[in-house]
Chains A and B, each alone.
Chain A
Amino acid sequence: MNRLTQLPTLRINPAKTLPFTYREKKYQGMSGDTVAVALYSNGVRIFSKSTRYHRPRGLYSLDGECGNCLMEVDGLPNIQAETSLLRGGMTINPQNIKSFEKDSGPDKVDPAGFDYQKFHKPYKMWPYFLKRIRNAAGLGVVSPSFRMKGLFDEQYLNAEVCVIGGGPAGILAALAAAEQGLRVILLEARPWLGGCSDYRSAEYTPGVALYSRARELAKAVEDTPNVRVFSHTFMTGLYADNHVTAFQIGAQGDHFNERYMEIRAESVIAATGCIERPLLFENNDLPGIMQASCAHRLARTYGLLPGERAIFSVGHDLGIEAAIDLSDLGLPILCVADCRPDVQDPRLIKELTERGIPFMPGWVVSKAEGGKSLEKVTLTTIEGIRHHAVECDTLVASADLTPAAGPLFMSGAKMEYDFHTGFFLPGQLPPKVHAAGRLIGLYDPFSIEASGHLAGLNAAKDCGASVDALLKTAQKEIGRLPGPARGSKWMLPPSVSLNRDIVEKIFICLDEDTTVKHIDQAYNMGFDTVELMKRFTGAGTGPGQGGISGHNLPLVISRYHSDSVMPTLPGTVRPPLVPSFLATYSGRSRDMVKRTPLHESGKAAGALFQRERVWKHARYFSDDFTCREEIENVRGNVGVTDVSALGKFRIFGPDAVNALQRVYVGNMSDIPVGKVRYSAMCNEDGRLIDLGVVTKRGEEDYYFTTTADRADSAMEWIRYHTRYDQWNFHIVNLTDAFAAINLAGPNSRELLRKITDADISGDAFPFMACRTFALRRETSRDSETSNVSDISAIPVRVMRLGFVGELSYEIHAPASLAESLWDLLMEAGRDFGIRPFGSEALDALRLEKGHVIIGRESETRTTLHDLGLGFLWDEEHAGISTVGVPPLKFTRYQTGRLRLVGFKTEDPSRAPRDGSIIVEKTIRGYVCTARYSFTLKEAIGLALVESRLAKKGTRLQIFEDGMKKDERLYATVVSTPFLRSVDG
């Protein structure tokens, strides 16, 4: 197809061709083409077929307002070809086209709500039909194993003013705000600024065309340092406090393919212009029918004439202007019909006449005909009296403009129907949201610019700029310029009378194949509002999200409401306004994970890590996932494990002990220095939420630990539950400041003795004691360090306690010295055969001791007593003001509660899977944790069961997922701990 390559408005580079493949054939496009334009230039007219009736669909809007041009590009389905720039080497394929040869779909369309009525009786057949309907629709195929290629980035911006829309109004708004020294962000969906003026050769001022003015403005704003311009950027949402979301498509050379953006602005200006309201007529979906701006931009922006014999049927002056310009560029135009009997700009009519183009005011297209594409149209007078059929291959059809008001709807603006323009306009905007340009019904270029300037000043005022005098001038200026033009209210061809027998194929929503007849049927079934109509007929729910149908649908429905003068409003606009990839929203998807100070030591020792909440934790130290050797080594020798993820806190101040007593059910008031108090935190329902230890560092100074899961919330928990007390205490989170190592096993004391001078005998360092001392190599105790700044010994706080039931020490050391400490322990333990053990082995070891892990053996229904931990509650000191105590008083003797029990399976070799259920005729509980115990040589577990099954000796029936219906595993309730501890 010949291209016009010399136009000053072109946005393509004719000198640079780009090869691409379509349906396995090679083609050429030009740099700057969109995929749709490149295909069109190579003669492609059918881009897709509609979802329901498989009707051929072609180029329609050029801005992706409908699903006509969704195509598969480089293996990715549902790419909007109208807005995707062509890149060399692309592989493009159509979607849901089974045959290009077969004509448009069935002659008769299904009635409205066909799916809701036809395939639901009996209801059990619905899944069967659903699958077949979806296959028949044939829209793209998603493979779960598909991996998105490319870079998807994210960006978080802050500005005083955010302008959405880079046409003249938006640009002037941005400049006005920037002049006040404010930071301004300007978003524009197309790859360039200029908006509706970018491609128009109509006069701005004598000798200056609109496109020249547009480019002049674009340069001015791009050169303004405090304006950041983002082109090819689609606004997707506007949320509370002017929080704007958008995504940008990367240009060649950009570091990303697409990037997600979030913008916080003090003030937002919407200058998004207008799209076109479609004309409704029979077969209005045929390829060859397009909007006026589509035809105009094909020529002016991309150098492509839309066809060879064109008819225009429009309802606005931009449509006439397009006809004039396209005629000058060489498009044979057979006539221009205008559904408005008058009010056209007489200068435009004169220009049509000068070019010999028949002008037909008061005429409108009523029918289009053709097989795979347009071949003929029938024009009719608006009264329906006269008709005139014309053969053509291109019909430019547009009832009027309609504001692209999505941002305003989302801002919460009170939208109203304006009878003068026929638009839905903002009656009342929320604070710090402004609108300008064509969006508010203006058409005159000077009015458009002035409105932008005014909006920019208003936005600047929102941000505290002193602009009252400037505002006064701007308001005066706009007052003397033309206001909004009278719009066309044209909707349906005269042949169509509502509530009568409506002809079949007048499409109100191209995406969902919804016709005016469907609207009529649905209304008569009682779906009489836009929201109901939308859902029942599907209109506006497709990829275009109401872009095409958004304005016509409420107007058509309004015709039925004879009791109301005011048209009903369009349906709720929801984000995203423009679809994008999930990968774009995902952004960089960085895995922000916490590593303990011993991570590298574990790695060097062969640890296999697993993500445990926010931490990467060493779970195993060999390929044997039963961890047999690790477990046996702890029981018989000495093992070492990283427990650095434990929460660690300093709490100090005159009321520190009060704060502790508020949240711990144990007695916090008399913890001696050098001792450790083990206690529990409960929530307001008496449910166990944490277990930890508290030790006294000094006067009014405590150090306490929590489980890893509570480390992030412990401080806030304490602050929240003391917020009214005005107590004087302070908390410092030391979770990451200290590493913690658990040294456990019968040889742990002997090992420790090798590396410290402190007296750690059983008498000097009893169970539940806490000591601070230093550790260093045996050989180095008498030597001096070479430098006073060197570390000659590792200071540690050691608590003699343990989770695993052996003699064990929990060693807390500064995190920066953790690896040195690990090396020291491993070296000192070499003669003992020390081995590291991971969290799986720790799990098995603690299970043998019957120790509870919160979230494994506890859940939302279990209190302290249910878990057998009632002994932690000191009733004398933890009274009613301690969190959780009131419900504990109530539930401790309550019957019918779940109880935690230990069990051994009758088959000692077979431990049930965690989570298996305990059954009789119904579910009576579940297995929390079960393992084969290498120490006891039998399978053991902990389960939560109904209290009547909790008695020792009760036989439990366990059902595992995957078992046959009557298959069971049997176990007996036993007392815990399963293994008598050396310590505690």
Chain B
Amino acid sequence: MESYQRRSPVSFTSRMAESVRRDGWEVALRYHDEGKGPFLIDLSHRPKWDIQDADLSGIRPMGIPVSEVPGECIFQNGFLLNRMNQTQAALWHLSGESPKMPREFLYTDVTDGYALLSVIGKEMFFIMEKISASDLSSPTKKPPFLIQGPVSQVPCQIVVLGENEGYFGLLIACVRGYAQSMTEAILDSGVEWGLRPAGENIFCNWLEPLSA
């Protein structure tokens, strides 16, 4: 009964209170002492696919149309589809059963290539403005939207997901190598507001109304 474990590039010092095994990953559902927010959640295990084609307009990854404008995102059926540029989009699976990636030429599985972190809390923008100069609260943009810019000097994809009962949520994807440094930078940035690691349950519960 051999089974090899996948490992997230993110390591918290908090103790897991509840976890589940999924596709080789040990996914933290809940940590001890998560508090009431703000939260930092590791979603690095979630599937992430890169989609590139000369003409994205005719493509519907998992049935979702690709936005025309770079920076726009669509969240549907647990999938977040980010239009990155003229020829590239990113598809992240955020909730529900992990899907199989279509075996089509234009898809590349980059799940392991990126760490994916979520910051959720009333103070989310205050935390982020200590580590990113990107205008995440721009009134001209409607969530969810994508900004490609540095967080703590590391190139990232930042998706502002929206707001639910006063809690703002955001996703940060950076290349895997920087995951631990990024995690520490975000936790350090959020110390004054009591930012703590939290499990996937918090993320899914927060996200659910936005899926409707």
| A contacts, CB < 8 Å to B | 153-158, 181, 183, 255, 262, 264, 588, 590-597, 600, 614-615, 650, 652-653, 700-701, 728, 730, 732-738, 776-777, 779-780, 783-787, 789-794, 814-820, 824
Contacts and interface: CB of A to CB of B under 8 A. Distances in A.
Question: Which of B22, B111, B154, B177 has the most C-beta atoms of chain A within 10 angstroms of its own C-beta?
Answer: B177
A247 B21 CA distance: 47
Contact of A590 (B129, B177, B185): B185
A592 B130 contact: no
Query: Which 8 A-B residue pairings sit nearest by Cβ, starting from the closest?
Result: A737-B113, A594-B177, A780-B2, A816-B6, A156-B133, A730-B52, A790-B3, A158-B135
A730 B104 CA distance: 14
Nearest to B115: A736
A153 B130 contact: yes
A736 B175 contact: yes
A732 B24 contact: no
B128 to A, nearest CB: 9
Interface of B: 1-9, 21-25, 45, 50, 52-54, 87-88, 105-106, 108-114, 129-135, 137-139, 152-154, 175-182, 184-185, 188-189, 191-192
A596 B175 CA distance: 11
Given A783-B1, A790-B3, A793-B4, A734 B108 contact: yes
Contacts of B184: 590
24 contacts: A156-B132, A158-B135, A255-B192, A262-B133, A588-B188, A588-B189, A592-B152, A592-B178, A597-B7, A652-B105, A730-B106, A734-B108, A734-B110, A737-B110, A776-B2, A783-B2, A787-B3, A792-B3, A814-B6, A814-B112, A815-B176, A816-B112, A817-B4, A819-B7
A405 to B, nearest CB: 27
B146 to A, nearest CB: 16
B22 A701 contact: no
A592 B3 contact: no
Nearest to A786: B1
B176 A264 contact: no
Given A736-B175, A792-B4, A730 B87 contact: yes
Nearest to B50: A732
A192 B2 CA distance: 67
Contact of B113 (A153, A736, A777, A790): A736
Contacts of B154: 592
B206 to A, nearest CB: 24
B172 to A, nearest CB: 13
B3 A791 contact: yes
A221 B188 CA distance: 31
Contacts of A735: 113, 175, 177
Given A592-B178, A816-B45, 20 more contacts: A157-B129, A158-B138, A255-B191, A590-B181, A590-B184, A590-B188, A592-B185, A595-B180, A650-B108, A653-B54, A730-B87, A735-B177, A776-B2, A780-B1, A791-B6, A791-B24, A793-B2, A814-B112, A816-B8, A817-B4
Contacts of A790: 3-4, 21, 24
Contacts of B139: 181, 183
A816 B192 CA distance: 32
A701 B71 CA distance: 28
Contacts of B3: 785-787, 790-792
Contacts of B152: 590, 592
A595 B24 contact: no
A2 B9 CA distance: 63
A255 B188 CA distance: 11
A158 B149 CA distance: 14
Contacts of A155: 129-130
Contacts of B22: 789
B170 to A, nearest CB: 15
Given A255-B192, A597-B176, A730 B88 contact: yes
B135 A737 contact: no
Given A591-B181, A786-B1, A816-B112, A156 B130 contact: yes
Contacts of B5: 791, 819-820
Question: Which of A652, A793, A815, A820 has the most C-beta atoms of chain B within 10 angstroms of its own C-beta?
Answer: A815
Contacts of B130: 153-156, 588
Contact of A156 (B8, B114, B129, B180): B129
A597 B6 CA distance: 11
Contact of A732 (B110, B135, B189): B110
Contacts of B182: 592
Contacts of B185: 588, 590, 592
A264 B135 contact: yes
B192 to A, nearest CB: 4
A819 B112 CA distance: 13
Contacts of B110: 732, 734, 737
A264 B134 CA distance: 9
B112 A732 contact: no
Contacts of B50: 732
A796 B194 CA distance: 42
B88 to A, nearest CB: 7
Contact of B176 (A736, A780, A784, A820): A736
A701 B106 CA distance: 10
A700 B130 CA distance: 44
A595 B192 contact: no
Contacts of A588: 130, 185, 188-189
B57 to A, nearest CB: 15
B11 to A, nearest CB: 8
Contacts of A736: 112-114, 175-177
A814 B8 CA distance: 12
A728 B54 contact: yes
Question: Which of A594, A776, A817 has the most C-beta atoms of chain B within 10 angstroms of its own C-beta?
Answer: A594
A817 B6 contact: yes
B112 A737 contact: yes
B2 A733 contact: no
A815 B45 CA distance: 11
A956 B182 CA distance: 49
A730 B130 CA distance: 35
B104 to A, nearest CB: 11
A223 B1 CA distance: 64
B53 A730 contact: yes
A955 B8 CA distance: 55
Contacts of A733: 113, 175
Nearest to A159: B135
A593 B181 contact: yes
Contacts of B1: 780, 783-786
Nearest to A698: B105
Nearest to B87: A730
Contacts of A652: 105
A322 B188 CA distance: 48
A95 B70 CA distance: 58
A588 B131 CA distance: 10
A820 B135 CA distance: 40
A779 B179 CA distance: 34
Contacts of B178: 592-594
A214 B138 CA distance: 31
Nearest to B139: A183
A725 B210 CA distance: 43
B129 A815 contact: no
Given A592-B153, A596-B177, A730-B53, A816 B24 contact: yes
Nearest to B6: A816
A500 to B, nearest CB: 57
A156 B111 CA distance: 30
A787 B3 CA distance: 9
A481 to B, nearest CB: 34
A659 B24 CA distance: 37
B201 to A, nearest CB: 19
Given A155-B129, A787-B21, A791-B4, A595 B9 contact: yes
A652 B134 CA distance: 32
A700 B176 CA distance: 27
A248 to B, nearest CB: 13
Nearest to B189: A588
A733 B1 CA distance: 34
